[in-house]
Amino acid sequence: MSDEIFFVAGSVAAVAAILVLRFSWARPRRSAALNGLGWLLLVFSLFAGAATAGAWGISVMALSAMGTAFAILAIAAWQSPPARRKPSIRRAGMLPEGDEPLRIGGRIVTFLLIVVAAMISSIALAITTRWLALLMGASEGNANVLALFAAPLAWTILAFLVLMTESRRRQLAIIALPLISAIPAFVMGSSL
């Protein structure tokens, strides 16, 4: 089988995988066989993309699958009936209703925890990552790349965890853990 045919077969498998999974999940009782077939088709498409064109091929297969899923969801959204009741003015707890207090102070503290404290904490975790990579024998460039990868990833995870935690004490503990983990790196003189 030539590379082009294998690549096209992978794209067709990606589309078919999403269609099979959608069909399986729309049934009253999910079928393990259909679920397995859908996931197997998806794995085949990723394998076909990787074998023929590497990372670019995997991207094309993922785009085929995501485009199919988008089309299915768009059709389902278009056909869904309108809601029976009016949506709340509150919009997911952003605005108080009636006589509820605005809690401006708490909102500002949460904002500062997410934007400032979580960012500083994620930078500390990136410094720790760089220091550990250098200790394990990574080159300077590779250690820097790992640190630059770790900082936004850590910030995203920390922001999520802080927003999902209601207790301020737990929020501060979540922020403090990466800062504490960076102490050996700071003592040894590692920095970005």
Residue-wise pLDDT tens digits, 15-47: 999 999 999 988 998 889 999 999 999 999 999
Q: Could you give the CA distance from residue 69 to residue 134 in angstroms, rounded to a whole number?
A: 42
Task: Identify the band that residue 102 occupies on the pLDDT scale cut at 50, 70 and 90.
Answer: confident
pLDDT of residue 92: 58
Residue 99: what pLDDT? 77
Amino acid at 29: R
> Do 18 and 69 contact (CB within 8 A), yes or no?
yes
Region 147-161: mean pLDDT is 95
Q: What is the pTM of this model?
A: 0.54
